[in-house]
Amino acid sequence: MQRRLTLGLGLVALAGVVSTGAAAPAVSVIGSSAIHVQAAPWTVFVEQDRSAFDRLQCTGSIIDARHILTAAHCVFDERGNRATPAELTVKAGVSNFSVPLPTDAEQDSAVSALRVHPGYRWTRFAAPDDVAVLTLSEPLRLGGRAVRALQLPPAKTAFPSGTAVGIGGFGRDDPNTHASGPLAWMTATIDAQGTCPSLQRGGTLPDNAILLCASAVKAAVCSGDSGSALVTLHGRPTLLGVTDGGPSGCPVGSDGLFTYVGAPEILRFLKGDAHPPLAPRKRHGVVVKLSWQSPLVVGSTLTCSAGGWSREGRVTYTFTDGSVLQRGRQTTFVPLQKDAYEPIACEVAVTNAGGSTLDDSRRSPVVLEPPSAVIGRTRPLAGAPGGRVTLHLTVRSPAGLWGPVHVCATPPARVGRPVCSAGRRDDGKPATAPFTLTFRVAPNASSGTARVRVEAVAGVSSASATTLLTIS
Q: Bridge-partner residues for 470, per DSSP?
A: 382, 449
Return the closest-CA partner of residue 186 out of 61, 39, 377.
39
The 3 state secondary structure assigned to 195-245 is: CCCCCECCCCCCCCCCEEEEECCCCCCCCCCCCCEEEECCCCCEEEEEEEE
| Span 299-340, pLDDT tens digits | 889 999 987 787 778 999 999 999 999 999 999 999 999 999
Which secondary-structure segment (H or E) carries 264? helix 264-270
| Span 140-172, pLDDT tens digits | 999 899 999 999 999 988 999 999 999 999 987
Q: What is the dihedral of CA 36, 41, 42, 43, to 10 degrees?
A: 20
The CATH number assigned to the domain with range 33-270 reads: 2.40.10.120
**DSSP one-letter code for 93:** S
Helix (H, G, I), strand (E, B), or coil: what is residue 92? strand
Question: What CATH superfamily classification does 374-471 receive?
Answer: Immunoglobulins (2.60.40.10)
In the predicted model, what is the mean pLDDT of residues 248-266? 92
Whether pLDDT at 248 is above 60: yes
**DSSP one-letter code for 191:** P
d(Cα 91, Cα 199) in Å, to the nearest integer?
32
| Span 424-443, pLDDT tens digits | 877 777 888 899 999 999 99
Whether pLDDT at 131 is above 50: yes
Q: Bridge-partner residues for 381, per DSSP?
A: 469
pLDDT computed for residue 230 by the predictor: 97
Residue 107 CB partners (closer than 8 Å, separation 6+) = 91, 92, 93, 140, 141, 147
Q: What is the pTM of this model?
A: 0.80
Q: Are strands 374-375 and 381-383 parallel, antiparallel or unpaired?
A: unpaired
In the predicted model, what is the mean pLDDT of residues 266-277? 96
Amino acid, single-letter form, for residue 179: A
Whether pLDDT at 255 is above 70: yes
The CATH number assigned to the domain with range 281-360 reads: 2.60.40.10
In the predicted model, what is the mean pLDDT of residues 106-128? 94
Return the closest-CA partner of residue 200 out of 431, 2, 391, 366.
2
**DSSP one-letter code for 96:** B
Whether pLDDT at 459 is above 70: yes
- Cβ neighbours, 10 Å, residue 268: 17
pLDDT computed for residue 175 by the predictor: 60
d(Cα 44, Cα 94) in Å, to the nearest integer?
7
In the predicted model, what is the mean pLDDT of residues 212-229? 90
Q: Where are the domains of the chain?
A: 33-270, 281-360, 374-471
Tell me if 405 sits within 8 A of 427, measured CB to CB.
no
Q: What is the dihedral of CA 312, 317, 320, 326, to 10 degrees?
A: -160
Whether pLDDT at 17 is above 50: no
pLDDT computed for residue 177 by the predictor: 62
- Cβ neighbours, 10 Å, residue 119: 22
Tell me if 129 sits within 8 A of 155, measured CB to CB.
no
In the predicted model, what is the mean pLDDT of residues 172-184? 74
Question: Given pLDDT bands bounded at 50, 70 and 90, which one contains residue 458?
Answer: confident
What is the share, in percent, of the chain residues with pLDDT greater than 90?
Answer: 66
| Span 27-84, pLDDT tens digits | 334 545 789 999 999 999 999 987 655 678 999 999 999 999 999 999 998 889 999 9
d(Cα 259, Cα 270) in Å, to the nearest integer?
12
Query: Could you tell me which residue, 220 or 230, shows the higher pLDDT?
Result: 230
**Are 33-270 and 281-360 in the same CATH fold?**
no
d(Cα 236, Cα 363) in Å, to the nearest integer?
40
Return the closest-CA partner of residue 8 out of 201, 208, 250.
250
What would you report as the CA-atom Rg of the chain, rounded to the nearest whole angstrom? 34
| CA end-to-end span of the chain | 77
Question: Given pLDDT bands bounded at 50, 70 and 90, which one contains residue 22?
Answer: very low
Query: Could you tell me which residue, 49 or 175, shows the higher pLDDT?
Result: 49
What is the share, in percent, of the chain residues with pLDDT greater than 70?
Answer: 91
Please state the separation of Cα 193 from the chain's center in Å.
3
pLDDT computed for residue 51 by the predictor: 61
Return the closest-CA partner of residue 186 out of 62, 5, 27.
27
Tell me if 208 sits within 8 A of 128, measured CB to CB.
no
Residue 84 CB partners (closer than 8 Å, separation 6+) = none
CA distances from 237 to 153, 232, 233, 253, 258 (A): 10, 5, 6, 24, 17
